[in-house]
Amino acid sequence: MMPTEQRVHWRTVITLLLIAGGLFILDARGDLEAPLRVVRGPWEGILAFVSAQTDKVAEALQGPRSLREAQIQIDVLEQQIDELERENELLQELRGENELLRNLYAQALERPDIERVLANVIARDTSPTFRSILIDIGTDDGIFVGMPVEDAQGLVGQVFRTTSNMSQVILVTDNTSSIPGRLADSRATGIVHGTGIGGVMVMEWIDLDATVTVGEVVATSGLGGSDSGGLLINRFPSDLLLGRVVEVQRSEAELFQSAIIQPAADINNLEIVFVLTNAPVVDTTIFEDNDE
Amino acid sequence: MIIFYPSLYLAVPLFMFVMVAQASILPYFPLLGFVPQAGLLVALSWGLLRGVEEGAWWGFLAGLAIDLFSYGPFGVSAAILVLVVVIATYLQEVVVTERYVLPSLLAMGATLFYYTMYALMGRILGYETVFVVGDDLLTVLFLHGFLIMPVYWTLYGIERALWPQSVEL
């Protein structure tokens, strides 16, 4: 137990805060990029292994839906030979993975012009407010900052940072994410922002004249430009599925309407994703030159 | 002069383990829809057990570990966690050291401060972070208030095993 009369050496606290501030400044200047890449690199294997093992345990725990069913299942399993149990588990794992890969392959067939690299999700963002994932491929596999990432259902996010064997992907539901989108039926365009909490997105700046309906599909418009936070340049090709409209927010008093979008990708249960390595985008830099 | 504590030899591997769990295990098992902030709970618990300065060190190391696997700006979590743990621990020392209710209350207060500071710092630095409010906030406060007890008592056991205290009769 700490004696209450003990003096606190505030110098330690202030020094630690100053060190943290110094690290932040170095990071903002880009001076920490190389050393942090070295530190992060070796963790890829550990995170991938832990994530794979946890995934197996989580799947096993999600199996039985009730205690009664679980008991029956246990009784049946107890009668089986250990070797068959292991084989069964392995086959089930392979079947799930096979199904996932078939979906991804079907997705890839729809856009054969886009080259894709397969990646496993090995970790999620450790901070309480940011939404990102770590995948097990990096610059050695031809992955670079800005590349779009999707799963079998739709767009997942964009590569934000890379090491030689690992990449960090900002999810479409993160607040920093800002993607030019187009509604499938009304053809109206807007900007799709992440909201951070709740796992939904908001499409803003939709023309008030456009008739937006609940259930309408939203896809990327293919337009380039920089995001609102200035962190990344948008490099999304057109017609990548973003999600569906679940609510329309329209007011005659405002110049634009907005819509709540449910992401098509299963953001909370990502296992395997595609990184789009040669996504074609509309070149808008000519307008930037004219501005100057 | 900065005081270096032997417990930091424990803190470094512990926080690397905690952050691997935070990144690759806990997201598979969300509680009430939330992934608890294990780094905050561990650093806070140690601070409550060992005092302001050790708490500050542990908060600093926990923050660095969080920043290592987060895309947020490096160093921000470290600064926030130092502040959170120092304030919570200082409050305990000023008010009264009590092991059964106070850790939960301080964990709730620290969580509120942590999330608010994180969102605030994010906004200041241009990350457009959101403030956790309403039911979500109550849930995460309750969750951390509950989860700090097993963390606190586990660390209490470790502390007593590694640094037994002499008793004068």
pLDDT digits (tens, 9 = 90+) for A220-235: 988 765 444 445 555 7
More confident residue, B97 or A152: A152
- The answer to whether residue B66 scores a pLDDT higher than 80 is yes
What is the mean pLDDT of the segment spanning A145-166? 88
Cβ–Cβ of B51/A2 closer than 8 Å? yes
Cβ–Cβ of A20/B78 closer than 8 Å? yes
Instruction: Give the Cα separation of A31 and A219 in Å (integer).
Output: 37
Q: Is A175 left (phi over 0), alpha (psi -120 to 50) or beta?
A: alpha
On average, the pLDDT of chain A sits at 80
Which amino acid is it at A185?
Answer: D
Q: Does A123 touch chain B (CB under 8 A)?
A: yes
Looking at residue B147, its pLDDT comes to 94
B24, B97, B143: best mutation site toward chain A, by most A Cβ within 10 Å?
A: B24
Residue in chain A lying closest to B92 (CA): A4
A224: number of CA atoms within 13 Å, CB side?
A: 15
Query: Both tokens of residue A286?
Result: 């000519």
DSSP secondary structure letter of residue A227: -
R_g of chain B, CA atoms, integer Å:
16
A8 neighbourhood in chain B, CB within 8 Å: 51-53, 90, 93
A6 neighbourhood in chain B, CB within 8 Å: 51, 93
Query: Both tokens of residue A219?
Result: 């896809």
CA dihedral for B133, B109, A19, A134, sign (positive or negative) = negative
Q: Is A31 left (phi over 0), alpha (psi -120 to 50) or beta?
A: alpha
Instruction: Give the Cα separation of A149 and A31 in Å (integer).
Output: 27
- The answer to whether residue B103 scores a pLDDT higher than 60 is yes
pLDDT band per the 50, 70, 90 thresholds, residue A68: low
DSSP string, B18-65: HHHHHHHTGGGS-BTTB---HHHHHHHHHHHHH-HHHHHHHHHHHHHH
Looking at residue A88, its pLDDT comes to 75
A161 neighbourhood in chain B, CB within 8 Å: 71
pLDDT band per the 50, 70, 90 thresholds, residue A168: very high
* Residues 6 or more apart whose Cβ sits within 8 Å of residue A92: none
- The answer to whether residue A289 scores a pLDDT higher than 50 is yes
Lookup result for tokens 């009264």: B96
